[in-house]
Structure 1
Amino acid sequence: MGERTLRGARLGGQSFEDERGIEFAARQQVGYVCPQGHEFEIPMAAEADVPAVWECPRCGAEALSTSGAKPEAKNEKPARTHWDMLLERRSIKELEDILAERLDLLRGGEIGPAHLHRPRKSKSQKTA
């Protein structure tokens, strides 16, 4: 039964709808020029907000609209570094205390790479 359901139809490429009685949306052609000099047009709906910048299909650069619309300047925040985020959680004094504590542990052989650990004295060596 499954074989007969698709008889006479090609899979994937053919639509059985026709365009009679369909009213298409009003369109406008918007022109763009990229810094490399490539000119191209993009069809858009008539009521669409036209972007001032569009990616060039040839080179990928940002192309400006030929209508003269300028892109809006973005208010970019400066990038937050790890140090900035650390200072939001800790004060300089707290960081200095933590550093001193960790350095003492490292120098005492409590933490750090195994090849830097000092051999600990066993109980028999302590009493002798």
Structure 2
Amino acid sequence: MADRSLRGTGLGSKSFEDEGGVEFAARQELGFDCPRGHHFTKTFAVEAELPTEWECPRCGAESLRSDGVRGEAKETKPVRTHWDMLLERRSIAELEELLSERLTLLRAGELRPMEIHKPQTTRRRSA
């Protein structure tokens, strides 16, 4: 019998709760201007930290606040290359010494180039 009373109400998609007596949080609207001429507003809570940039809903470009507030420029780190990381571990003198040792071993035939060091695999056929 309970099945029939709930039929057709769309359970899970509708709320029967009343908004009476509910106090909403204080809100503020913030405008954004797109570089392509679009203007839009977003609603934020009063106590929220306000962003300085927002993606334009029409074209996807980075839009700046209409009130002129700009964000602080972030400090960017220089790109660390493999050479920079190597120099953190060894000095130029150490690298030159290692190079001369390896070249001596290579010329003496005790060390072979890396492409020769690849392991040879032999395949066995099953009978």
| 2:86 partner amino acid | L
Inter-CA distance 85–13: structure 2 relative to 1 (3 Å threshold): same
Map of 1:43 onto structure 2: 43
Give the counterpart letter for 2:29 in structure 1: Q
SS of the counterpart of 1:99? helix
Of the three residues 107, 113, 116, the one matched with 1:114 is 116
For residue 106 of structure 1, report the CA deviation from its aligned partner.
Answer: 4.1
Where in structure 1 are there 5+ consecutive unaligned residues? 116-128
TM-score (norm 2): 0.72
Where 2:10 maps in the other structure, the secondary structure is coil
Superposition deviation, residue 63 in structure 1: 0.7
* CA RMSD between the two structures: 2.3
In the TM superposition, 1:1-128 aligns within 5 A as 8=7, 10-107=10-107, 108=109, 110-111=111-112, 112-114=114-116
| Counterpart AA for 1:28 | Q
Q: After superposition, what is the alpha-carbon deviation per residue over 1:66-90, rounded to whole angstroms, capped at 9, x for unaligned?
A: 0110121222221222211111111
Q: Which runs of 5+ in 2 are unaligned?
A: 118-127
Could you tell me which amino acid in structure 2 is paired with residue 110 of structure 1? L
Question: What TM-score, normalized to structure 1?
Answer: 0.71
